[in-house]
């Protein structure tokens, strides 16, 4: 007989046996049902709240459209707070929607820097109704684990994973999604798009090669830890109108256009121990035109390397301020200390040497920028100070400017 799973069960299959005169005592929570048909009995098998997409007809051959099969598995899991299993393979799919509380989507991770591996969801079409591959807006406590999610560069402004509410706290409770050990890449929008989000975690994942940002945030309460943000066209992380209460630790942020972390508005950021490498723009942008745009921030223990890059010597930035490691504007109550900065060029000792400046700081109040190391941190000037900085402490930042590659 087929092995019986124990736990919390849902009726899945009925097995009928002929000419068997006994029912074995399983001593589990399995229910046994006797048919009224002579010489037959049935054995009711009640499986756990785990739903393998291949049981619903999904085929990981890279050719079959699996949208209906995967969506059915997600719907069933949403009813009971179950788990959806994605075995290794390439599963082509359209837009998928998760609803309910406590759903887990579990794959088998085998991705690496340049390509997907293991369990792969591939976007297979981009019609007018496709705004993302995986919509978790109406799901609470959802976990997305050990998956590759690939948009194949289809359509326009299509996101990888999306949670979106019309207003802040529109859900009435913490959304609390977790993305863990996933590779989310090649979307025409953002890799992850969290709009009016409340509480989330992204860990040990790679958000890369998206036409938008790797991660777009408009909301608060986040842990962003041990990730790669690589090769995105609109920044590694792009902040919306409000970004608050975020911890960014141990991330590698590299080769992103427009900048590494772009956070124009919000408060309460802990940015520690990250490696910013070869940003095509400032590695870290804090603040905007509005006074007190960004408040209450600690930036410490980060490495800033060859930021403010140009793709070729003839490229022109919209502003020369783009060629720096860090740009602070209209910030207050910010501490920046214990960071290291260095000029550089592309790999294999090619490309344009950058940046022109280490820090650009303007119109900030009650900020401390102290004890950062910048020996050959910039080509032209390490510290560019503008506007009203009277209440700030800017001292002990050591190092020479110049081009050591000449």
Angstrom distance (rounded) from CA 273 to CA 270: 10
Mean pLDDT, rounded, for 47-59: 93
**Are the CB atoms for 309 and 354 separated by under 8 Å?**
yes
Q: What's the Rg (C-alpha) of the chain?
A: 26
pLDDT given for residue 43 in this prediction: 40
User: Residues 141-173: pLDDT tens digits?
Assistant: 999 999 999 999 999 999 999 999 989 888 789
Q: Percentage of residues in the chain with pLDDT exceeding 90?
A: 80
Number of other residues whose CB lies within 10 A of the CB of residue 109: 21
pLDDT given for residue 313 in this prediction: 78
What is the rounded average pLDDT for all residues in the chain?
89
User: Residues 286-308: pLDDT tens digits?
Assistant: 999 999 999 999 999 999 999 99
* pLDDT confidence bin for 232, thresholds 50/70/90: very high
User: Residues 88-146: pLDDT tens digits?
Assistant: 999 999 999 999 999 999 999 999 999 999 999 999 989 888 999 999 999 999 999 99
Domains of the chain, by residue range, sit at: 10-47, 49-215, 258-406
Quickly name the fold that domain 49-215 has. Answer: Pectate Lyase C-like (2.160.20)
Going from the C-alpha of 135 to that of each of 97, 178, 253, 300, the distances in angstroms are 5, 13, 25, 35
Angstrom distance (rounded) from CA 340 to CA 358: 10
């Amino acid at each position: 007989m087929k092995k019986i799973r124990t736990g919390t069960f849902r009726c899945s299959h009925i097995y009928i046996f002929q000419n068997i005169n006994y029912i074995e005592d399983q001593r589990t929570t399995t229910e046994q049902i006797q048919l009224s048909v002579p010489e037959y009995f049935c054995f009711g098998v009640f499986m756990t709240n785990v739903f393998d997409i291949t049981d619903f007809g999904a085929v990981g051959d890279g050719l079959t459209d699996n949208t209906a099969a995967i969506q059915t598995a997600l719907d069933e899991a949403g009813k009971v707070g179950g788990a959806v299993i994605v075995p290794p393979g390439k599963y082509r799919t359209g837009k998928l929607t998760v609803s309910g509380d406590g759903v887990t989507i579990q794959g088998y991770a085998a991705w690496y820097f340049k390509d997907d591996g293991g369990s792969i969801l591939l976007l297979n079409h981009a019609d007018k109704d496709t705004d993302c591959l995986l919509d978790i807006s109406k799901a609470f406590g959802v976990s997305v684990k050990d998956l590759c999610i690939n948009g194949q560069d289809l359509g326009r402004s299509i996101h990888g994973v999306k949670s979106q509410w019309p207003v802040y706290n529109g859900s009435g409770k913490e959304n609390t999604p977790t993305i863990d050990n996933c590779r989310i890449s090649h979307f025409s929008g953002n890799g992850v798009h969290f709009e009016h989000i409340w509480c989330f975690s992204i860990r040990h994942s790679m958000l890369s090669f998206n036409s938008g940002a790797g991660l777009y945030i408009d909301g608060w309460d986040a842990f962003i830890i041990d990730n790669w943000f690589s090769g995105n066209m609109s920044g590694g992380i792009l902040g919306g109108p409000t970004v608050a209460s975020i911890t960014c630790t141990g991330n590698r942020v590299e080769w992103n256009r427009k900048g590494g972390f772009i956070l124009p508005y919000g408060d309460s950021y802990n940015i520690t121990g990250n490696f910013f490498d070869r940003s095509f723009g400032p590695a870290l942008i804090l603040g905007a035109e509005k006074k007190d745009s960004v408040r209450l921030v600690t930036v410490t223990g980060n490495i800033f390397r060859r930021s403010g890059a140009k793709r070729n010597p003839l490229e022109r930035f919209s502003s020369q301020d783009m060629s720096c490691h860090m740009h602070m504007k209209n910030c207050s109550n910010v501490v920046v200390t214990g960071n290291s900065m260095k000029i550089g060029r592309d790999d294999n000792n090619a490309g344009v040497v950058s940046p022109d400046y280490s820090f650009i700081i303007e119109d900030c109040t009650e900020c401390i920028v102290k004890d950062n190391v910048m020996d050959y941190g910039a080509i032209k000037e390490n510290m560019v100070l503008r506007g009203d900085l009277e209440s700030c402490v800017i001292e002990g930042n050591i190092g020479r400017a110049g081009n050591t590659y000449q």
